[in-house]
Amino acid sequence: MTAEASRERFAGRRVIVTGAAQGIGAGIARSFTEQGARVALLDRNAEQVTATARDLASDAVAIGVDLRDAPGTVAAMDAALAELGGCDVLVNNAGIFAKVPLLQLRVDQWDEMFAVNLRPMLLTIQAVAPVMIDAGGGRIVNMSSMAALVGTPGEAHYAAAKAGVIALTRIAAMELGPAGVTVNAVCPGYVLTSMGAATRTEEEVAGWAAKSPLGRLQSVEEVAAVVCWLASNEASACTGQAINVTGGMVMH
């Protein structure tokens, strides 16, 4: 794809990205913006998401919202749809990570993980799906994790929530497919963002890299590229899938 074609890939497309203040979400928003889309960024860090949006484009929209707040999430999605005049692509990226041994895991920690990593996807999909159906189609991409397939000790609540993302994705794909809406999930491997870096030592990072046939971790840009592909016309026949971006750490 030429540089000019890349800049026009999503021209006129309206994209909503949650958890977009930094890390993978910001990288996804940047990739869409660089390829011609107009993007609305949602994040609970209102100050940071505003700065990120300002850095991306003059017409990028920043909305501060804590996705644990169901009514607030609905209101934020309504605001994003109003600002963009609709939505062609939704990327559900917002998430948190924590490690707690199973026998020490409290109910409130379990609930918190699901309240951020899974439950908001129901509300965001319900908000955009009618708009996409009326428009004749659309793209939804949900961020899962390789932990949904091969979680490690201490990740019971995280892995369970991310597995739920894949299940939700499949059912949404079945129900929305007849209306031309594709729904897919992306399962990144270990990407050294600020969220992940705070939970791993240098030795652990080296250990993760060694698990990949490529011998390295994945980059934000590599994850964003797969998300953009799923949102593009090239992926029009792809729905209900969970795409691994793990450098071969997971091969199923």
Q: Does the residue 146 lie in any domain?
A: yes
Residue 205, pLDDT score? 85
Which pLDDT score, from 0 to 100, does residue 110 have?
Answer: 98
The backbone region for 186, taken as left when phi is positive above 0, alpha when psi lies in -120 to 50, beta otherwise, is beta
> Is 190 an annotated catalytic residue?
no
How much is the pLDDT for 192? 79
Do the domain assignments include residue 248?
Answer: no
Res 208: pLDDT: 83
Per-residue pLDDT of the chain (252 residues; tens, 9 = 90+): 655 667 899 999 999 999 999 999 999 999 999 999 999 999 999 999 999 999 999 999 999 999 999 999 999 999 999 999 999 999 999 999 999 999 999 999 999 999 999 999 999 999 999 999 999 999 999 999 999 999 899 999 999 999 999 999 999 999 999 999 999 999 999 887 765 566 678 888 888 899 999 999 999 999 999 999 999 999 999 999 999 999 999 988
Q: How far apart are CA 155 and CA 70, in angstroms?
A: 25
pLDDT at site 1: 60
Rg (CA), the chain: 17
- Given a contact cutoff of 8 angstroms between Cβ atoms, the answer to whether 250 and 244 are in contact is yes
pLDDT at 97: 93
Q: Say if 215 falls within a structural domain.
A: no
Q: What's the rounded Cα separation, in Å, for the pair 57 and 200?
A: 33
The reported pTM is 0.95
Catalytic residue among 32, 158, 190, 208: 158
- Residue 9 within a domain: yes
The residue segments making up the domain with residue 49 are: 3-192+220-240
Within-domain flag for 209? no
Q: Judge whether 57 lies within some domain.
A: yes
Question: Does residue 183 belong to any structural domain of this protein?
Answer: yes
pLDDT of residue 194: 67
pLDDT of 2 reads 54
The domain that contains 173 carries what CATH number?
3.40.50.720
C-alpha 157/C-alpha 111 separation (Å) is 8
Residue 205 domain-assigned?
A: no
- Check residue 112 and give its pLDDT: 98
Q: How many structural domains is the chain composed of?
A: 1
